[in-house]
């Protein structure tokens, strides 16, 4: 095995099992492109402040660029000997540039370095997730546009409550995705702070310019306190929390799709491109995509909890425990990205709503009962009195095997003299939906306005 960077201080070599246990190269190689970007900015700062010469700076930057190219071409593949991505890059750089490579780590520690890399990585990934959230919203908006007039039963307690415009139901998820997008925008403000130049924990003896390297890397601010700079993982936890909420929303939609596609609901048919079969039951078509999304939600929640526990007992400043934040963070990022992609495809082309079945569903229940009470209340009957009256009608109708629309005008009048012929119009499902024209309601006028707003929001940032 190769000599360790720090081995001159040690008597004997690392036990191979311990070397493997200690190494993070197996996963932090994910950071290589950010590690090199961070090192280039650090180098430029060293040259800018005169800590190294301009020509040394140029050699280092060229060397670092070469390391990246070699990695991208598959020529540079660090092994466990390298310990972590930071040592791997520095070592390769020194092989390429000779002695000047040994100046790279002047006025820097792996502690501020890994903090910088992780933030650059997360900033990038947050940008990608925000774009994906926009695509997800776009698909839901298009589906909503086609289904303003499609009615679907609305539920509370998973019991039929009041009918809805299907567009209204879909737009609820567009709103959730909007908050997710805004939350990420906010988290990004605290990801985008530079710890570079915090050193190992206490700052450095060199006349560095932290604002200069921060600016080169596109950071908005720098950590004001070097101890905090190398110890803080709040930004990762906040991200894990935002990622968890994205998963909550995707998982609720996934659950609805699973229900809707069941024989009990029959609201949608899954298209073949987004469903799978069974190895034994020839008739089966399974909603694996939403099930996987619902299932993967668990691991993202787990990573949030894992990160919180990882942090809670750590004395300042850096502790090796912090190396263990990466797999949790990387897996949260990848899981959210994969689930958003799959759900976007599923909603874009995986579902076929069944309008006839949906229509039949909204016509065959008592979800217009509130509207009978509202009808009387609008004619001056106190709402609670009207409500009690309708409760009785529901009871007798259920016993008689009738729906409200089956009652004759005489029966209505016998109940209350205020009923007129227009009661039938008032309790027709389409009118029941249209009438809910309060702001944010399911009335078609409201839904059209909500669609306009959602569409125009897509292009803002």
Which among 110-118, 158-166, 255-263, 276-284 is the span making contact with ligand ARG, rule CB under 6 A?
A: 110-118
Burial of 412 (0-12, 13-18, 19+ CB in 10 A): buried
Which among 108-116, 150-158, 171-179, 268-276 is the span making contact with ligand ARG, rule CB under 6 A?
A: 108-116
Which among 13-21, 213-221, 320-328, 416-424 is the span making contact with ligand ARG, rule CB under 6 A?
A: 320-328
Please, which of residues 28-47 interact with ligand ARG by CB under 6 A?
A: 28
Cis link prior to 317 (omega < 30° from 0)? yes
Matching residue, tokens 């990004």? 188
Closer to ligand ARG by Cβ: residue 124 or 365: 124
Cα-to-chain-centroid distance, residue 85: 27
Contact yes or no for 221/105 (Cβ under 8 A): no
C-alpha span between 14 and 260 (Å, rounded): 58
Closer to ligand ARG by Cβ: residue 103 or 110: 110
Closer to ligand ARG by Cβ: residue 198 or 368: 198
Let me know how long the chain is: 461
Closer to ligand ARG by Cβ: residue 239 or 419: 239
C-alpha span between 223 and 421 (Å, rounded): 72
- Among positions 103, 105, 110, 169, the unique one binding ligand ARG when judged by CB under 6 A: 110
Cα-to-chain-centroid distance, residue 365: 37
- Among positions 318, 375, 412, 419, the unique one binding ligand ARG when judged by CB under 6 A: 318
C-alpha span between 143 and 152 (Å, rounded): 14
Closer to ligand ARG by Cβ: residue 114 or 143: 114
Q: What's the min distance (Å) between Cβ of 84 and ligand ARG?
A: 4
C-alpha span between 159 and 230 (Å, rounded): 52
Pairing relationship of beta strands 221-222 and 193-194 according to DSSP bridges? parallel
* 157, 279, 408, 438: the active-site residue: 157
C-alpha span between 230 and 194 (Å, rounded): 10
Closer to ligand ARG by Cβ: residue 6 or 439: 6
- Among positions 322, 361, 373, 404, the unique one binding ligand ARG when judged by CB under 6 A: 322
- Residue 155: strand pairing partners: 160
User: How many residues in the shown chain lie near ligand ARG by CB under 6 A?
Assistant: 11
* 53, 55, 262, 278: the active-site residue: 278
Q: What's the min distance (Å) between Cβ of 243 and ligand ARG?
A: 20
- Among positions 114, 126, 141, 196, the unique one binding ligand ARG when judged by CB under 6 A: 114
Contact yes or no for 287/260 (Cβ under 8 A): no
Is residue 323 a contact residue for ligand ARG (CB under 6 A)?
yes
Closer to ligand ARG by Cβ: residue 86 or 296: 86
Please, which of residues 7-26 interact with ligand ARG by CB under 6 A?
A: 24
- Among positions 39, 43, 97, 111, the unique one binding ligand ARG when judged by CB under 6 A: 111
Candidates 87, 68, 40, 124; CA nearest to 329 is 124
Q: What's the min distance (Å) between Cβ of 312 and ligand ARG?
A: 18
∠ CA 238-243-244 to the nearest 5 degrees? 95
Mapped onto helix, strand or coil, the DSSP state of residue 224 is: coil
157 is catalytic: yes
C-alpha span between 377 and 379 (Å, rounded): 5
By the criterion CB under 6 A, which residues form the site for ligand ARG? 24, 28, 84, 86, 110-111, 114, 318, 320, 322-323
Which residues form the catalytic set?
157, 278
């Amino acid at each position: 095995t190769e000599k360790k960077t720090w081995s001159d201080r040690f008597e004997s070599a690392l036990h191979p099992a311990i070397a493997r246990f200690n190494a993070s190269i197996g996963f932090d190689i994910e950071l290589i492109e950010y590690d090199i970007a961070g090192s280039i900015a650090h180098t430029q700062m060293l040259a800018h402040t005169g800590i190294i010469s301009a020509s040394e700076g140029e050699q280092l930057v060229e060397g670092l660029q070469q390391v990246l190219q070699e990695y991208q071409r598959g020529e540079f593949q660090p092994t466990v000997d390298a310990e972590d991505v930071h040592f791997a890059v520095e070592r390769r750089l020194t092989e390429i540039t000779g002695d000047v490579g040994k100046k790279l780590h002047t006025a820097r520690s792996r502690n501020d370095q890994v903090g910088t890399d992780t933030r650059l990585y997360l900033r990038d990934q947050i940008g990608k997730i925000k774009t994906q959230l926009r695509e997800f919203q776009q698909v839901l908006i298009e589906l909503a546009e086609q289904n303003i007039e499609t009615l679907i039963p609305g539920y509370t307690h998973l019991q039929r409550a009041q009918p809805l415009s299907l567009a209204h139901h879909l737009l609820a998820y567009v709103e959730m995705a909007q908050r997710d997008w805004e939350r990420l925008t906010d988290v990004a403000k605290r990801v985008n702070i530079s710890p570079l130049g915090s050193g190992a924990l206490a700052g450095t003896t060199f006349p560095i310019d932290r604002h200069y390297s921060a600016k080169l890397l596109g950071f908005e601010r720098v950590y004001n306190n070097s101890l905090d700079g190398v110890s803080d993982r709040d930004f990762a936890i906040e991200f894990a929390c935002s990622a968890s909420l994205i998963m909550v929303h995707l998982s609720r939609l996934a659950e609805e799709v699973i229900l809707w596609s069941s024989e009990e609901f029959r609201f949608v048919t899954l298209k073949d491109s987004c469903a799978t079969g069974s190895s034994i039951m020839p008739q089966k078509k399974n909603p694996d995509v939403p099930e996987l999304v619902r299932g993967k939600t668990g691991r993202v929640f787990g990573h949030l909890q894992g990160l919180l526990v990882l942090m809670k007992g750590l004395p300042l400043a850096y502790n090796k425990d912090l190396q263990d934040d990466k797999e949790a963070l990387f897996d949260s990022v990848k899981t959210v990205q994969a689930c958003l992609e799959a759900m976007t495809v599923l909603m874009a082309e995986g579902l076929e709503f069944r309008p006839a079945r949906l229509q039949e569903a909204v016509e065959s229940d008592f979800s217009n009962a509130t509207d009978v009470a509202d009808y009387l209340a609008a004619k001056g009957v106190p709402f609670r009195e009207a409500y009690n009256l309708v409760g009785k009608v529901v009871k007798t109708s259920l016993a008689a095997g009738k729906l409200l629309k089956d009652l004759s005008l005489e029966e209505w009048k016998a109940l209350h003299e205020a009923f007129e012929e227009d009661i039938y119009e008032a309790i027709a499902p389409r009118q029941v939906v249209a009438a809910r024209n309060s702001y944010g309601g399911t009335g078609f006028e409201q839904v059209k306005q909500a669609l306009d707003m959602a569409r125009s929001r897509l292009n803002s940032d």
